[in-house]
Amino acid sequence: MEEQGKGKIVRIAGPVVTAEGISPRMYDVVLVGDLSLMGEVIKLVGDRSIIQVYEDTSGIRPGEPVSNTGEPLQVQLGPGLLSSIYDGVQRPLPVLMEKEGDFVSRGLTAPGLDPTKKWQFTPKVKRGDELQGGMVIGEVPEGNLVHRVLLPPKVNGRVKSISEGAFTVVEPVGELENGHVLRMMQRWAVRTSRPYTEKLLPDIPLVTGQRVLDTLFPLAKGGTAAIPGGFGTGKTVTSQQLSKWSDAHIVVYVGCGERGNEMTEVLTSFPELEDPKTGKPLMGRTVLIANTSNMPVAAREASVYTGITIAEYYRDMGYDVSLMADSTSRWAEAMREISSRLEEMPGEEGYPAYLASRLSEFYERCGRVKTLSGPTGSISVIGAVSPSGGDFSEPVTQNTLRIVKVFWALDSKLRERRHFPAINWLTSYSLYSPTLEAWYSMNVAEDWSAVRLWAMETLQKESELQEIVQLLGSDALPEQEQLTLEVARMIREIFLQQSAYHPVDTYSPLKRQYEYMRAIRRFFDLAKKAVSLEVPLEKIKSLKCRTELGKLKFEESIDEDLKRMAGQMEREFSELGV
């Protein structure tokens, strides 16, 4: 007689396996074949269960056993997530590699959190306290911050006992009167979003230190952004800059099916980086989820859910989290492959009809919220998109654009001109600008918005004038308009271009961004006067302050230099009679 929950394989099609005799629920995790490969039930047809398998299925045969775990795909949440490097189903890659070498063999399991490591637990509640789901029960130092141990969302009750000391994540730290055992670790099903009290307006910027982003196209904490770009335009460099520099407490980096060597680069370079604010290793605030293109597609499909669930967990402690997914196109391609194996009716370009709803469910899980434990926390999501041939009209880019509020369009023409970051200032946008205005004027400068608007208008004007220049040459323009072209060029070359690899230029604080743009604007005002007094433009262009404005972004002394520039510009222009 067959055991309850045991069945056998009847069909195998790549990562999709059909089994009979297990009668699971949708999304139950099952173990497939003699190797016990991990898989997830994604469709039920009569007695047949259709399973997506997270590991390579080659060599598996019909007739091999399948057993149901009776549980959905879950991650382990607790101290020890930071600094971890996981695959798409939260198996720690370094542990797997230690067991098996570089080539991780199949059917291998290892828990997401180390069950033997001890953590110093300090209770924040006491005997007799009445607890509600999501409340903080204690604290543990982890990486660069305090890990707040949370009661799982649906658990309530009065504290019967609680202890202080060093415990593993699985050992009890206390008990509720109703018998619920308190532990540092909880589990959560990755396809279900974690609850919060309410969503708040995203009216604080996520400061990235990247001038084109912060000044022209800002992202809010709790906001959504897409970085679409063709091959080699800078998606990975931009995502990495954001993980290094953005003022989030926690960074979750989902490397989703990009080329193998690119992920290796992330895996080797990240652990060496320093957190610019604390000087501690950057990994101390980072969780890496790595799925290279040689890993099975189903695990890639799961990796974004694993990532966002971990992000929600830290949000629930009251932290600002940013999640980068590089690239969401690889995720969508995984969906497409699985859908085609299921012989579903294909939608546009072969993607399943539910592509749009999957994307929006994912981006829905970000936001700035009041948490169950009280404080606010946020998840900002930045998704890279890699449309083939850089053609933004394809379905993944188009569906993403309908959802996200910030669009940072990478442009291969700019890349060819070596204008980095290659973000097109005419086609990119941020819908958060109006909501963030108040914050910028309170925290940076009252006329921040005016200065920003001036820069945007100058760039817009340049693009209009360029049409004339292409037809008639720049000499056909009046000197005032030639000056606009010159100043727009200054905005582009001095302000918008920013080297990720230069020690000073790689990060620009908001105040500096503002002072820099204001200096360029002051140059423009003075030059405009000079032109009206018939000073030749050539003379203005060759002023020392013009050259220096372009160079000082690379100097350690940049902030003093910017202050000095103000006086210097006035002097040099007054020598021209202004």
Ligand X SMILES: Nc1ncnc2c1ncn2[C@@H]1O[C@H](COP(=O)(O)OP(=O)(O)OP(=O)(O)O)[C@@H](O)[C@H]1O
Summarize as ranges the residues that interact with ligand X (CB under 6 A). 229, 231-237, 258, 386, 420-421, 498-501
Q: Which does 554 bind (CB under 5 to 8 A by kind): Mg ion, ligand X, none?
A: none
Cβ proximity to ligand X, 134 vs 229, nearer residue: 229
Cβ proximity to Mg ion, 297 vs 325, nearer residue: 325
Angle at which helices 355-364 and 328-341 cross, to 10°? 140
Cβ proximity to ligand X, 174 vs 229, nearer residue: 229
Q: Which does 106 bind (CB under 5 to 8 A by kind): Mg ion, ligand X, none?
A: none
CA–chain centroid gap for 319, Å, is: 15
Q: Which does 57 bind (CB under 5 to 8 A by kind): Mg ion, ligand X, none?
A: none
Smallest gap, in angstroms, from Cβ of residue 386 to Mg ion? 7
Cβ proximity to ligand X, 263 vs 578, nearer residue: 263
3-class DSSP state of 578? coil
**What is the DSSP secondary-structure string of 229-248?**
--TTSSHHHHHHHHHHHS--
Residue nearest to Mg ion (CB): 236
Residues 6+ apart with CB under 8 A from 299: 54, 55, 87, 88, 89, 291
Q: Which does 231 bind (CB under 5 to 8 A by kind): Mg ion, ligand X, none?
A: ligand X
Smallest gap, in angstroms, from Cβ of residue 496 to ligand X? 11
Please tell me the distance from the alpha carbon of residue 276 to that of residue 253, in angstroms, as a whole number: 18
Query: In residues, how long is the chain?
Result: 578
Please tell me the distance from the alpha carbon of residue 495 to that of residue 162, in angstroms, as a whole number: 55
Cβ proximity to ligand X, 121 vs 270, nearer residue: 270
Smallest gap, in angstroms, from Cβ of residue 285 to ligand X? 22
Residue 29 and residue 15 in contact, taking contact as beta carbons nearer than 8 Å: no
Q: Which does 329 bind (CB under 5 to 8 A by kind): ligand X, Mg ion, none?
A: none
Residues that bind Mg ion (CB under 5 A): 235-236
Smallest gap, in angstroms, from Cβ of residue 353 to Mg ion? 28
Please tell me the distance from the alpha carbon of residue 445 to that of residue 428, in angstroms, as a whole number: 24
Please tell me the distance from the alpha carbon of residue 323 to that of residue 385, in angstroms, as a whole number: 14
Tell me whether residue 258 is exposed, middle or buried, using C-beta atoms within 10 angstroms of its C-beta: 0 to 12, 13 to 18, 19 or more.
buried
Smallest gap, in angstroms, from Cβ of residue 204 to ligand X? 25
Cβ proximity to Mg ion, 123 vs 234, nearer residue: 234
Cβ proximity to ligand X, 382 vs 485, nearer residue: 382
Q: Which does 499 bind (CB under 5 to 8 A by kind): Mg ion, ligand X, none?
A: ligand X
Smallest gap, in angstroms, from Cβ of residue 288 to ligand X? 16
CA–chain centroid gap for 38, Å, is: 27
Cβ proximity to ligand X, 237 vs 477, nearer residue: 237
Among left, alpha and beta (phi > 0; psi -120 to 50; other), residue 165 is left
Token match 């654009």: residue?
401
Q: Which does 420 bind (CB under 5 to 8 A by kind): Mg ion, ligand X, none?
A: ligand X
Smallest gap, in angstroms, from Cβ of residue 399 to ligand X? 19
Smallest gap, in angstroms, from Cβ of residue 55 to Mg ion? 25
Cβ proximity to ligand X, 138 vs 229, nearer residue: 229
Cβ proximity to ligand X, 83 vs 400, nearer residue: 400
Q: Which does 421 bind (CB under 5 to 8 A by kind): Mg ion, ligand X, none?
A: ligand X
Nearest-CA neighbor of 268 among 242, 288, 291, 248?
288
CA–chain centroid gap for 149, Å, is: 24
Smallest gap, in angstroms, from Cβ of residue 440 to ligand X? 23
3-class DSSP state of 7? strand
3-class DSSP state of 553? helix
Nearest-CA neighbor of 208 among 254, 248, 235?
248
Smallest gap, in angstroms, from Cβ of residue 247 to ligand X? 18
Count of beta carbons in the 10 Å neighbourhood of residue 526:
20
